[in-house]
Structure 1
Amino acid sequence: MKHARKVVVVFDDANQCQKMEKELGLLGTSVQAIVQGPSVFRTALENIDAEVEIILLVCERAHLALVVANLRSIVPHSGIVVVSQLESEAQRTELLFAGADTALPMHVSATELVATKHALRRRAERFLSYTAETFVAATEPMSTSFSADTPWILQDKGWSMLSPSGVVIELTYGEKQLIELFSHSHDGRVSREDFLQIKSGGLQSKRAVDSLISRLKRKAAELKLDLPIRSVHGWGYSFAGRISREERSPETLTAQEEQAQLLQQIESAWHENAAIDGRLSLQFQSRIQLKDAIQQGVEVQLYWDGSQRIHSALLGQLDKVVTIAVLERSIQMLCADMHEWQQVYRLSTPVQLSIPVSILPELQPSLLRLLSSYASEARNIELVLRNTDETSDLTWITLCAPLRALGVSIWLEHDVSVPSQHTLGLDILEGLRFCYPDDEQPLSDHVQQTLLQACGLAAEHGLKTIVGNVWNKARRDAAVRVGATYVQGEFLGSPMSRDGVLLGLASIESM
């Protein structure tokens, strides 16, 4: 909170930045430009005079979102303003998601920028005042007027927790994963080593685990709650309470109902000739190699209107014309992103794309044309074909041959089942992907035994295996026991934006 009262303004035009610095000075605003660029921001920040109100930076337009995301991690409570001639709503939206407070046009006046600074300053003052008040309040007696049998209830798919006294605690991703671990432990005890498995939660050491729990308990204390997390000396932590999940209300749509509704929205938009570009976006899910517990690749996920996931199963239910259009546009976006990662940042990673095998005949020609123009990126693409019927037409094998020649890896995706000898013998395959049932029920013995047999057979035939839909520790542990090569799912990391992938890759490269 040291720099909460400062505002950082990012330009993509050096001349405009210099002009603004002069105009702000004439208005009596204390301003300083970091001329060396964003790469030295963290160091330069420590040497900036405490009276400086506005800090100016310049970066290339292509790097705006990544720079903003980095700034937000360095100054989480400061105002961040982007000044650029942004051409589309999607660009502005990306910056806001990356961490900017607002985006202003290139020729914004110094007066308007000062007004924006004052608005952000008011927010900072209220925040600092609230923080001081809650610090005092945290020293007051905490609310404990509830029965020990009253559960703590996970709500909003685990993103918030309702205390027995009726107070809601909003959870960060790391906190959500931590509480999930407690909820799946039969005795409420979890070791520090188990916490460290949550790589995407940023837990790189036992000290980081302790810090996460300390922050969560402090957050609860600010709400006058005694969060019953207790230390087990030399081992880990226990949750001295009962955790349950919120029951679904009759008004809440099931996953199947949500997908059916989404299908109608996409097809309606297409048939009404509405543009899909602005409504279609990509996010990326980490893939973790179990042998050494490191990220090795990502799965690209398609989203509609920024929040609704378009699953590969849904693509198989859309009109084929619509499916082809959605996939062609998605692959164009993906290749452009991968090209930028490689050419601008010198970073690359394997990227999985799942499609229904039934639409490959129609998609393959355009896919070949596109990947031929992105030859370098094609070698990092892993095409996962969802094949729910192994007795179906096998022409996909022929269709995949030219893709394989471009360096594209071919995978088959199944629900948990034992693959046929024919599938296991296909030379064109890199591996098999199995998905746990899409529900929150404990894994049955049948599912675990089937997966054990499937992964064993795949390994015997030199095929790698991915286990998907891993959203809790029990599922991760089951994947470890059956010898899977990789795991994916929200337990290992929430979906990331393109800039989130870049930050993750950059951190891996720097290790």
Structure 2
Amino acid sequence: MTQPPPALSVALLEDDEALRERVLAPELKTYGFDVRTAGRPAELDAILASAAVDVVVLDVGLPDEDGFSIVRRLRSTPSLGLVLLTARDENTDRVRGLEDGADAYLAKPVAIPVLAATIRSVARRLASGPSTSTASVGADWTFHDGGWVLRSPDGTSVALTAHERCVLQLLHERRGFAVERDALIAALSDGSGDFDPHRLEMTIHRLRTKVSRANAGTLPVRAVRARGYVMLPPDAPATGRR
């Protein structure tokens, strides 16, 4: 007989013992997950050191270390899925969580079916690699969530603004070829004649800074003197003017 696939292993870090042990853990087990629980970051570290874990679900507000910091240090393991839970459903926290490397961000109180579906979705994406519906960017950089999230080769996610998304998608369409400044400005201005040309340089600068602060590596976009910008193809050497 064919053996069923092993249950997905989930590490749950939540300092509220009642919520963790009486609600989240038992409910997730009913969905077929192998759940290990922790009340503090050190306990999570012990779980990760002793067992193979597919997805970590963790609260943002913790007594010893906030969830954002934990996500940043765990992001170096690209095969590990990271789902953030928080009582604060604010866009700034959502963007921060995604930029720090979380694969998903859910607001409390979270519906268990939604949490279970999110865990499976994250695990499925990690197991299958880059989705065929995503667009390739640079050296294995990818667009996700309709182009609103940029993911680096090591799996770090960077949320994009509308202008950043517009610039990167245009550069990707002509990857390996210089895109004129006028073409980029026209795309950013949407036909408006009062667009400040310096905003293009500001957009590129913010993109590089955002990617760098997320520890996502070096964005493969270079300035081309007197012309515009180019996104380097995957096999291009990482040299040239930034």
The structure carrying a bigger helix percent of its residues is 1
TM-score by length of 1: 0.26
Quick check: which has more Rg, 1 or 2?
Answer: 1
Superposition TM-score, scaled by structure 2 size: 0.49
